[in-house]
């Protein structure tokens, strides 16, 4: 459960990070409406993941936190690439 929560935290944090990048915004065809909120979440969620992981003994907590960063990042990257493929289709058809 701890790993799952940490994974979600990292995934959403890196999703926010991705949505803040101009390259990804262009790929998705979106602007950045909630910049401050996304920046806040990007900062807070990894700390929340760390706080959750710290319930485990060291060094398991640290390994878990870093491991979930990797997996969460891959999931966020996967979601953003699926979204960019979908956003690309209507533009390509047009």
Partner 1 sequence: MRDILRNRMGWLHTWVGFVSGLVLVVVFTGGTLAMFDTEITRWMQPELAMLPQAPLTAEGLNHAGEQVQALREKEQTVFLALPSVRDPVLRILHYDGHAFVGPALDPRDGTDLNVRQTQGGQLFFDLHQSLYRGPVWGNMVTEVVGIGLLVAVLSGLIIHFRNLVPDLVLFRPFAAPGRAWLDAHLMAGVLMLPFIVMITYTGVVIHGPRLFPMISNGHGGKAGRPGHDRAHDAAPFAPLAPMWKQAEAVFGEGNIGFIRFEPRAVSFYRSDAADFVMTRDRVDFSPRDGQQIGVKRDERGDQSLGGIIRGLHYVRWGTLGLRWLYFICGAIGSAMMSAGLVLFVIKYRRTHGGTVRLALAEALTLAVTLGLPLASLGFLWSNRLIDPSLAHRELLEAKVFFLLWLCALLHGVLRSCTGLVRTAWREQAWGIAALGCGLPLLDVVSRRATAFTPGLDVYLAVDACAFGIGILALWGQSMIVHDR
Binding site for partner 1 (CB under 8 A): 3, 14-15, 17-18, 21, 23-24, 27, 59-60, 63-64, 66-67, 69-71, 73-74, 76-78, 80-81, 84-85, 88
- Nearest approach, Cβ of 68 to partner 1 (angstroms)? 8
Q: What Rg, from alpha-carbon coordinates, does the chain have?
A: 15
Tokens for 57?
Answer: 């003994």
- Name the residue nearer to partner 1 (CB basis): 48 or 73: 73
- Nearest approach, Cβ of 36 to partner 1 (angstroms)? 19
* Alpha helices (H) in 20-59, listed in sequence order: 22-28, 35-53
Contact between residue 19 and residue 25 where contact means Cβ atoms under 8 Å apart = yes
């Amino acid at each position: 459960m701890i790993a799952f929560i940490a994974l979600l935290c990292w995934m959403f944090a890196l999703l926010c990070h991705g949505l803040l990048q101009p390259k990804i915004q262009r790929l998705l065809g979106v602007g950045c409406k909630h910049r401050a909120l996304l920046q806040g979440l990007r900062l807070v969620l990894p700390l929340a993941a760390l706080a959750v992981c710290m319930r485990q003994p060291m060094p398991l907590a640290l390994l878990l936190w870093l491991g979930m960063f990797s997996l969460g990042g891959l999931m966020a990257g996967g979601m953003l690439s699926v979204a960019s493929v979908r956003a690309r289709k209507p533009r390509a058809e047009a």
